[in-house]
Amino acid sequence: MALINPESEVVTQLAGSLSSNLFWISFVVIISFSRCFIRKYFSSLRDIPGPFLASISRVWKGIWSVYYGLKGNIHYKYQDLHEKYGPVVRIGFNEVSFASPDAAKQIYSVSTGFHKTDAYSVYPPPENPDIFTETDEFKHAIKRRMVSNAYSHKTIADMERFVDKTEERLFRQLDERFIGSESKECDLGSWLEFYAFDVIGEIVFSKDFGFLSSGTDRDNAIQFIESSFAYHSVVSFVPNYHKYLLGNPLLKFLAPPKSLLSEIALREIGVRRQGGKELDRRDLLSRFFEARATHPDKMTDLDIFAISHGALIAGSDSTASSLRAMLYYMLKNPQTYASLKSEIDEFDSEGKLSNPISYAEANKMPYLQAVMKEAMRMHPAVGISMPRYVPSKGAEIDGRWYPGGTVVGVNAWVIHRNKEIFGEDADRFRPERWLEDDSKAKVMARNMYQFGAGSHVCIGKNISLLEMTKLIPQLLRTYDIKLVDPDLVWTMNCQFFVKQKGLKVYLEKRRR
């Protein structure tokens, strides 16, 4: 009988498994290096400048965007990348960011066939996308067509009284809380946010959400939306990971938390479906129901929820962020504030303004229009790039060929600072640039992306312009506004929308 040395058998087995492990580790390392090498030196994007790690792996883009996404300053990081690498930057092994006007025009044009990437599909509701989250262009076109009448110019006139009503509520609260014998600090940024949410409640559901009357973020509803954006905007940079996180199908079996606003939306839709609410006006929800009655095959109850809820989410913080920017830049630039106040006073003394100021009247005030455009140029509400796939047949952008499926995009925070379009002082807030030369102003207007462009241009643009154009002059006509800290530099947090904090002011009632 042969004697077996158990120790030597173990050693042999260990040695065998070690060498097999080493083989597999080396195999994986060689394959990974080869992939990185191919991506860097054989990719059709190999000549495009950008961070080295971005060109060889998904990991750089993932870490970069998640890190700065969580820090909330990714809008500035896009500016830094373009400053360092130029107008075309490779920000992923298959992704390119552009800063040129021609590229932006082409990528977001209706007819060129560029389409939304799956970054959008991580936003809720997953089971039934709304107009914003729908990535199938064919389905998107149908959804958009169904409701485009509801958002058209014609309906804006009907909405003006909803805005008047909310404005009145805002002024009543500001009078009661901040006007008195002694100056009281007013966090105007929060009040503008309450206004933007309440006005959308009126326009979409004929419902007072009660943010203004309570003077608080009721039930933390705004905070809930902010946290949801914080997750979704960050995971949209790495959409493949969503299914392992909150997009995990197993989570469907848990009841997801609902915000106060979703509950109000569901309740209102339920009441309307049963014909239980007599309205003396046509709000957006009633127009969506009309669209469904005309096209029952194309629009379902689920679509009505998705689209009305989507309007609420897309239309509130965007407007609040833009309003805050208008006030902030004006208060930080006393000359601008003085010029706008004298335009308002002049119109007033000439009897050109009603009370409250109508949309048509405010649209005739050139300096007001210039201030609004300039604030949205300096501070576009959306702080991340709007990614699109190059159509499958490929496309030439800025004189260079890109294969189908390449992810391309433009960030408004980058293109709005383009010196060739907006002038050498593009980094400065200067509303006069819009009034100096008509033809230059037209070129600048064509290169503004605060509302996106093309087939996905903001469908609520007219509504938000109505809300903002009426409010700003009425606010300045009613109050003298002073920053509590004239040296204030506000803080910003970009979680899709760039939200600001710290617009503290003193208000004093103006004599008229």
- 413 contacts 78 by C-beta, under 8 angstroms: yes
Task: Please state, in angstroms and rounded to a whole number, the distance separating the CA atoms of residues 320 and 336.
Answer: 21
Give the C-alpha distances (Å, rounded to integers) separating 475 from 82, 356, 358, 468: 38, 10, 13, 10
DSSP 336-366: HHHHHHHHHHHHHHTT---SSPPHHHHHT-H
Nearer to ligand HEM by C-beta: 433 or 456? 456
Closest C-alpha among 450, 494, 475 to residue 327: 475
Report residue 124 as tokens: 């809720």
- Chain centroid to Cα 234, Å, comes to 13
- Chain centroid to Cα 39, Å, comes to 32
One residue of 50, 124, 315, 473 binding ligand HEM per CB under 6 A = 315
The neighbour count for residue 397, using CB atoms within 10 Å, is: 22
Least Cβ distance, residue 200 to ligand HEM (angstroms): 6
Does 78 participate in binding ligand HEM (rule CB under 6 A)? no
Work out whether the CA dihedral 148, 230, 88, 31 comes out positive or negative.
negative
Stretch that binds ligand HEM, among 46-54, 95-103, 378-386, 502-510 (CB under 6 A): 378-386
Nearer to ligand HEM by C-beta: 55 or 283? 283
Q: Which helix (H) or strand (E) holds 497?
A: strand 497-501
Strand duo 407-410 + 479-483: pairing: unpaired
Does 105 participate in binding ligand HEM (rule CB under 6 A)? no
Nearer to ligand HEM by C-beta: 55 or 464? 464
Does 460 participate in binding ligand HEM (rule CB under 6 A)? yes
Give the C-alpha distances (Å, rounded to integers) separating 4 from 10, 13, 255, 309, 383: 11, 14, 62, 75, 71
Nearer to ligand HEM by C-beta: 74 or 386? 386
Least Cβ distance, residue 119 to ligand HEM (angstroms): 9
Task: Please state, in angstroms and rounded to a whole number, the distance separating the CA atoms of residues 412 and 165.
Answer: 33
Task: Please state, in angstroms and rounded to a whole number, the distance separating the CA atoms of residues 301 and 204.
Answer: 16
Measure the N-to-C terminal CA separation of the chain; round to a whole number of Å.
Answer: 115
Stretch that binds ligand HEM, among 83-91, 216-224, 362-370, 456-464 (CB under 6 A): 456-464
Task: Please state, in angstroms and rounded to a whole number, the distance separating the CA atoms of residues 482 and 260.
Answer: 34
Task: Please state, in angstroms and rounded to a whole number, the distance separating the CA atoms of residues 183 and 136.
Answer: 54
b (16+ CB within 10 A) / e for 113-139: bbbbbebbbbbbeeeebbbbbbeeeee
Least Cβ distance, residue 179 to ligand HEM (angstroms): 28
Nearer to ligand HEM by C-beta: 403 or 454? 454
One residue of 382, 410, 492, 498 binding ligand HEM per CB under 6 A = 382
Does 144 participate in binding ligand HEM (rule CB under 6 A)? yes
Least Cβ distance, residue 422 to ligand HEM (angstroms): 18
Does 324 participate in binding ligand HEM (rule CB under 6 A)? no
3-state secondary structure of 329: helix
Does 101 participate in binding ligand HEM (rule CB under 6 A)? no
Stretch that binds ligand HEM, among 12-20, 67-75, 379-387, 424-432 (CB under 6 A): 379-387
Least Cβ distance, residue 450 to ligand HEM (angstroms): 5
> Binding to ligand HEM (CB under 6 A): which residues in 115-134?
131-132
Stretch that binds ligand HEM, among 18-26, 233-241, 426-434, 449-457 (CB under 6 A): 449-457
Does 498 participate in binding ligand HEM (rule CB under 6 A)? no
Closest C-alpha among 408, 382, 333 to residue 116: 408
Does 322 participate in binding ligand HEM (rule CB under 6 A)? yes
The neighbour count for residue 435, using CB atoms within 10 Å, is: 12
How many residues touch ligand HEM under the rule CB under 6 A: the total is 22
- 508 contacts 480 by C-beta, under 8 angstroms: yes
Does 206 participate in binding ligand HEM (rule CB under 6 A)? no
Nearer to ligand HEM by C-beta: 339 or 385? 385
Least Cβ distance, residue 336 to ligand HEM (angstroms): 19
Does 269 participate in binding ligand HEM (rule CB under 6 A)? no
Nearer to ligand HEM by C-beta: 94 or 233? 233
Does 166 participate in binding ligand HEM (rule CB under 6 A)? no
Residue facing ligand HEM at closest CB distance: 460
494 is in an annotated binding site: no
Write down the H helix ranges in 42-152.
52-56, 58-71, 74-85, 101-107, 137-147
Nearer to ligand HEM by C-beta: 318 or 478? 318
Least Cβ distance, residue 453 to ligand HEM (angstroms): 8
3-state secondary structure of 479: strand
Strand duo 504-509 + 186-187: pairing: antiparallel
One residue of 106, 117, 318, 447 binding ligand HEM per CB under 6 A = 318
Stretch that binds ligand HEM, among 20-28, 232-240, 255-263, 452-460 (CB under 6 A): 452-460
Does 310 participate in binding ligand HEM (rule CB under 6 A)? yes
Query: Which residues are registered as beta bridge partners of 493?
Result: 499
Q: Residue positions in the annotated binding site for heme? A: 458
- Note the residues at the interface with ligand HEM (CB under 6 A): 131-132, 144, 310-311, 314-315, 318-319, 322, 381-382, 386, 450-452, 456, 458-460, 463-464
